[in-house]
C-alpha cells in the first residue's frame, strides 16, 4: 500500500480527475514540491499566511494548493496543524458533517503532525509544508534538508514508546514516498490521503 520511491506519484499514469496531483505530461524526475509549483504556476511562499487566502493557489481544474514556510519558525508542529486545519475549513472538510468526515480530517492533521515532527527529530527541521487538494485526494509534502531515509520501524512494536510516526503514516495514507532534492542535500516526504466519501 505505501511505498518509498525516488519520484512523485505520477507513475500511476494519467488520472483524469487529477487525483495524483501530477499529470502525465509532468516532469517525473522533478521534486514533489516542484511538481506542486509547476502544476499550479505558484512559487513557494516562505511567508506565513495572513488573514484570508495568503499561500493559496487554485488551478483551473479545481485543485487547490497552499504552502507554509517553516524554516527558522518556532512551534512548527502546532503551526503546521493550524495551517492545515484552516485549509480543511476552507476546502469544506471541516466542520465535519459526520463521523467519516471528522475521521478523515483528523487523519490529515495527524499525518501532518507526524511528518513535521519527523523533520524536526531526524532532519534538522522542516523548511516548508505544502498542501494540495482536489475533490478526491489531499497531498501533504514536508520539505527538509536532512539526508536520512524515513521508513516505518520494523518490526513495529505497538507497546514500545517512540518510532510510530511512519507506521502511522503508512497505515493512514493511500500512498507516501520520498523525493530527493537534486544538487543539494534534502528531500520532500509526501503523503496522500483520500477525501471523505
Ordered by start, the domain boundaries in the chain are 64-148+161-194
Q: Is 144 exposed, middle or buried (0-12, 13-18, 19+ CB in 10 A)?
A: buried
Judge whether residue 89 has pLDDT over 90. yes
186: left (phi over 0), alpha (psi -120 to 50) or beta: left
Q: Which pLDDT belongs to residue 152?
A: 66
Distance of CA 156 to CAs 4, 39, 173, Å?
17, 36, 17
Is residue 77 within 8 Å of residue 148, measured between CB atoms? no
Mean pLDDT of 174-189: 92
Residue 91 has pLDDT above 90, yes or no: yes
Q: Is cis: bond before 99, omega within 30 of 0?
A: no
Residue 108 confidence (pLDDT) above 80 = yes
Least confident residue range of 104-113, 143-152, 166-175: 143-152
Mean pLDDT for the chain?
74
Q: Is 141 helix (H, G, I), strand (E, B) or coil?
A: strand
pLDDT at 4: 41
pLDDT at 159 over 80: no
Grid cell of 55 as nine digits: 499561500
Q: Classify 90 as helix, strand or coil.
A: helix
Phi, psi of 120 (to 5 degrees): -70, -45
- pLDDT score of 52 more than 50: no
- Give 159's contacts (C-beta < 8 A, 6+ positions apart): none
For residues 169 and 115, is the Cβ–Cβ distance under 8 A?
yes
Q: Which CATH architecture has domain 64-148+161-194?
A: 2-Layer Sandwich (3.30)
58: helix, strand or coil: strand
Q: At 104, phi and psi to the nearest 5?
A: -65, -45
Amino acid at each position: 500500500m505505501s511505498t518509498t520511491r525516488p519520484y512523485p506519484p505520477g507513475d500511476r499514469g494519467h488520472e483524469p480527475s487529477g487525483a495524483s496531483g501530477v499529470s502525465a505530461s509532468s516532469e517525473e524526475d522533478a521534486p514533489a514540491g516542484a511538481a506542486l509549483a509547476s502544476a499550479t504556476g505558484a512559487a513557494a511562499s516562505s511567508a506565513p499566511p495572513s488573514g484570508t487566502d495568503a499561500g493559496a493557489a487554485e488551478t483551473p481544474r479545481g485543485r487547490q494548493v497552499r504552502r507554509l514556510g517553516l524554516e527558522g519558525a518556532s512551534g512548527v508542529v502546532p503551526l503546521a496543524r493550524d495551517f492545515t486545519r484552516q485549509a480543511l475549513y476552507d476546502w469544506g472538510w471541516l466542520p465535519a458533517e459526520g463521523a467519516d468526515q471528522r475521521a478523515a480530517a483528523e487523519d490529515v492533521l495527524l499525518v501532518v503532525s507526524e511528518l513535521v515532527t519527523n523533520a524536526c527529530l531526524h532532519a534538522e527541521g522542516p523548511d516548508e509544508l505544502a498542501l494540495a487538494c482536489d475533490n478526491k485526494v489531499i497531498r501533504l509534502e514536508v520539505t527538509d534538508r536532512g539526508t536520512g531515509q524515513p521508513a516505518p520501524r520494523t518490526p513495529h512494536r505497538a507497546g514500545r514508546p517512540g518510532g510510530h510516526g511512519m507506521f502511522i503514516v503508512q497505515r493512514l495514507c493511500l500512498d507516501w514516498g520520498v523525493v530527493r532534492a537534486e544538487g543539494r542535500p534534502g528531500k520532500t516526504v509526501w503523503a496522500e490521503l483520500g477525501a471523505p466519501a
